């Protein structure tokens, strides 16, 4: 009598057998492409800390969205960079602001064939770079920010967003946005809540991507990397307030959080593989230190394995192409 100690190896012996028993598989439909559009550009502008990612002009955004549609990914998440910023982030609410205008342009071009998501936050629109408006003492004013988020949600819905993504980590943001959307007749607009969003050094390159003016940090409103339990409190609150999809962000340094949230969430779970995660792999690959494609696909698979149904990633199009070719 001997134990079948060779059982694991039997299931690893060839690509076909490994594929047969794979518990997780990436699909193009799992992926969402974040895109940046900047007011006043007449050609796409490279982002130096994110090689391969650009700030789009309004024209190049349309072409990139067409590529996304053809790649068969789940959708696009838009970030707008206005020409003018102020203390209240008023361009975020203005229907003619760059983000709202771009949502409308994509909606006009693609109808409902493309799922259009929009970042619902003030940091791209404020001259101080915080996700909310400030009190006189310089602290973020949670409740006054909520009023602006409500107006911004309605503006994005009016422009044609399918999904709004509140990413500012203000307490109560999901409830206020749901109520405002419902009152304005946008019961169908989906809220993708940034539920467990941590204050992270890995957002660094994003600050370049949106020409951020931020000095200081977001530690009074984003979560502390030391905390795990608190993500479940955020989940409970966001679900109670009406979140349709919840998100964990960043992804790779927070896979434990993602697994916790995925286990507890009654709604679909997304994860955001953020700018710093992207740039680290690109930098290592550019140096010849790691196999770029293998590292990208392994990173995405790890996020999926931890429990994400949807992944926001700057590699969405490339990964979708690899998946389609069947050689991912």
Under the rule (CB under 6 A), what is the footprint of ligand PBG? 119, 121, 123, 131, 167, 203, 206, 218, 274-275
Q: How far is the CB of 81 from ligand PBG (least distance, A)?
A: 11
153 Cβ contact partners less than 8 Å away, ≥ 6 residues apart: 120, 164, 166, 177, 180, 181, 186, 189
Of 167 and 265, the one with the shorter C-beta distance to ligand PBG is 167
CB 253, min distance to ligand PBG, A: 12
N-terminal to C-terminal alpha carbon distance within the chain: 41
Neighbouring C-beta atoms of residue 143, cutoff 10 Å: 12
Neighbours of 52 (CB within 10 A): 12
Q: In sequence order, what are the beta bridge partners of 36?
A: 55, 79
CB of 167 to ligand PBG, least distance (A): 4
- Nearest residue to ligand PBG by CB is 206
Check if 304 is active-site. no
Phi and psi at 323, nearest 5°, equal -65, -45
Helices (H) then strands (E): counts for the chain? 12, 10
Query: Whose Cβ is closer to ligand PBG: residue 102's or residue 275's?
Result: 275
Q: Which of 38, 249, 293, 304 is catalytic?
A: 249
HSE-up of residue 59 (Cα within 13 Å, Cβ side): 6
Catalytic annotation present for 197: yes
Which CB sits closer to ligand PBG, 2 or 276? Answer: 276
Cβ nearer to ligand PBG, comparing 206 with 315: 206
Q: Which residues contact 138 (CB under 8 A, 6 or more apart)?
A: none
- Residues 38, 197, 293, 304: which is the catalytic one? 197
Query: Least Å distance between CB 121 and ligand PBG?
Result: 3
Q: Which residues are catalytic?
A: 197, 249
């Amino acid at each position: 009598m001997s134990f079948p100690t060779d059982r694991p190896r039997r299931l690893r012996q060839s690509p076909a057998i490994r594929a047969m028993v794979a518990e997780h598989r990436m699909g193009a439909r799992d992926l969402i492409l974040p895109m940046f559009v900047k007011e006043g550009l007449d050609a796409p502008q490279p982002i130096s800390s994110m090689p391969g990612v650009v700030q789009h002009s309004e024209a190049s955004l349309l072409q990139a969205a067409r590529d996304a549609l053809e790649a068969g990914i789940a959708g696009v998440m838009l970030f707008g960079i206005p020409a003018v910023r102020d203390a209240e982030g008023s361009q975020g609410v203005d229907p003619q602001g760059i983000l709202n205008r771009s949502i409308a342009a994509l909606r006009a071009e693609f109808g409902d064939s493309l799922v259009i998501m929009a970042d619902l936050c003030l940091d791209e629109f404020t001259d101080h770079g915080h996700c909310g408006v400030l009190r006189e003492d310089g602290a973020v004013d949670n409740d006054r920010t909520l009023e602006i988020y409500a107006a911004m949600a309605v503006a994005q819905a009016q422009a044609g967003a399918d999904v709004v993504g509140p990413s500012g980590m203000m307490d109560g943001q999901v409830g206020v946005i749901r109520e405002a959307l419902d009152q304005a007749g946008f019961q169908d607009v989906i809220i993708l809540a940034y539920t467990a969003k941590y204050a992270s050094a890995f957002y660094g390159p994003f600050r370049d991507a949106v020409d951020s003016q931020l000095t200081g940090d977001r530690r009074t409103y984003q979560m502390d990397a030391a905390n795990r339990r608190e993500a479940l409190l955020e989940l409970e609150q966001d679900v109670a307030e009406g979140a349709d999809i919840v998100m964990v962000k960043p992804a790779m340094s927070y896979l434990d959080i993602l697994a916790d949230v995925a286990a507890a969430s009654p709604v679909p779970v997304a994860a955001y593989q953020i700018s710093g995660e992207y740039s680290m792999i690109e930098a290592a690959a550019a140096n010849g230190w790691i196999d770029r494609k293998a590292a990208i696909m392994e990173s995405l698979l790890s996020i999926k394995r931890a429990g994400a149904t949807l992944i926001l990633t700057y590699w969405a199009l490339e990964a979708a192409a690899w998946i389609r070719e069947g050689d991912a």
